[in-house]
Amino acid sequence: MNSFSSVAVIFGGPSPEHDVSILTGLQAARGLKSAGMTEQIKAFYWAKSAQWYEVDPFVEAEAFLQGLPDKSRKLNFLAVPEGGFFYEGGFAGFAKTVSKKKSIGVDVVLNCCHGGPGEDGTLQAALTLAGVPYTGPSVAGAVLGMDKMLFWTLVHSAGLPALPRISIPPIQRGEKGQAKQDPSQLNEPEDIGFFGDIGPFIVKPRFGGSSIGIEVVEDLDTARALVASTPHFMQGAVVEPYRNELFDLQIGVRTWPKLEFSAIERPFRASSNSVSFNSGILGYADKYVSGEGMLTAPRELPAKLSQSLEHRLLVLATRVALLSEVRSVARIDFLSDGNELYINEINTIPGSLTRHLWVDPPISFEDILSDMLSEAISIPMGMNMYTTQGADGTALRKAGSIASKLA
């Protein structure tokens, strides 16, 4: 077990998955404590308002129900070299503060932010510019994982099996948030012809987690109307055929000290007796509301699959992990009818950090956390990944007068 002087667990964020992120962050803080792998554990809470606070890492989840836990301390974050997190008290300007190196000293950040800017590359870019080592995906890996259309395009172009998918762009809105476009005009006819216009279809937010905002509709007109009226689709949506015979399969992946896969999980719906049209969808409530994040959600683990199907899933999972630049831990989701297999999506900061999936091979949560932190420090996503080679002034010397070029 590795040892670290100081670890900051980051959780929350302005995201629909804010609450689940709190659960994951608090679980991680307790995992660090039980392992005794760090002298100092800090918890940086990213509020729904996007403001940062330092909080007690060992409070209970209910402490966040009314806003901030007691004794929370406001923080500032600087995305500049030698930046990072600073206590608000004594914050006397960027240059002065950074030059005196008054940032809160932490060896590494354990990122437990699900969805939104914590998982889409925004936070990753800021931490990278500040030179703060962090767990989870790189900027590129985060972008690939969060954009469902981009991820599908990557998988499809590699010749890997996936259900056909089209995108519905965001709706232009007026000052009062009302749609300015006719939703029926949002798709080109050739796009519709990609898989036909006869439903049912699944509609998902293009940029979002794996469960929130997903709907099943009978036709594309209803899908377009959803995009025009539902907050989760403010940034657009993706649409694919809904096949009732398909069920979910999930597998965890980690990249340190080597590329390794967990047991395969078949998650179940908590409301299995539901007869609603959406009863075949594994939703947010099934994954997260039944207990401590994903730890108590109903499942079959390891999933009872044929040897052939299990082998194909592992081969595809390896391809996806390499294509999508997986780093730290992630979860890859598939759809199957027991014979056919389709890649669905990747979750680059999964619920509970996949801790429940590592039953074969058995790996403790403490070891998962330790390896995540070791990788973050050994291969940091910091300023040293950028270069100014080639910016030697040649273009500036040859540019001449900018004013003359404008004329």
Please report which helix (H) or strand (E) contains residue 18, including its range.
helix 18-35
Tokens of 291: 């207990």
- Alpha-carbon distance 233 to 217, whole Å? 14
pLDDT digits (tens, 9 = 90+) for 172-190: 655 555 555 555 554 443 4
Predicted local distance difference test score (pLDDT) of residue 137:
97
- Residues contacting 91, CB < 8 A, separation 6+: 76, 97
- Alpha-carbon distance 151 to 132, whole Å? 27
In the chain, domain spans: 4-136, 164-242
Q: Which amino acid is at 292?
A: E
pLDDT category of residue 209 using cuts at 50, 70 and 90: confident
- Residues contacting 210, CB < 8 A, separation 6+: 287, 333, 345, 347
Q: In sequence order, what DSSP letters do the residues of 62-114 get, joined into one string?
A: GGGTTSSPTT-EEEEEE-STT-EEEESTT---HHHHHHTT-S---SEEEE---
* Residues 258 and 378: beta-carbon distance below 8 Å: no
CA 187 to chain centre: 27
Prediction pTM value: 0.86
pLDDT category of residue 199 using cuts at 50, 70 and 90: confident
Mean pLDDT of 261-287: 62
Bigger pLDDT: 210 or 156?
A: 156
CA neighbours within 13 Å on the CB side: how many for 18? 13
Give, in words, the CATH class of 164-242: alpha beta
Radius of gyration of the CA atoms of the chain, in A: 23
Q: Which amino acid is at 305?
A: L
Mean pLDDT of 358-373: 96
3-state helix vs strand vs coil in the chain, percent to 5: 35, 25, 45
Asked whether this chain's domains 4-136 and 164-242 adopt the same fold, the reply is no
* Residues 101 and 78: beta-carbon distance below 8 Å: no
β-sheet bridge partners, residue 253:
261, 330
CATH fold group of domain 4-136: Rossmann fold (3.40.50)
pLDDT category of residue 283 using cuts at 50, 70 and 90: low
Q: Which amino acid is at 185?
A: Q
Q: To the nearest whole number, what is the mean pLDDT of the chain?
A: 86
Predicted local distance difference test score (pLDDT) of residue 11:
98
- Alpha-carbon distance 151 to 292, whole Å? 29
Residue 272 has pLDDT above 50, yes or no: no
Tokens of 35: 């392992």
Mean pLDDT of 42-67: 96
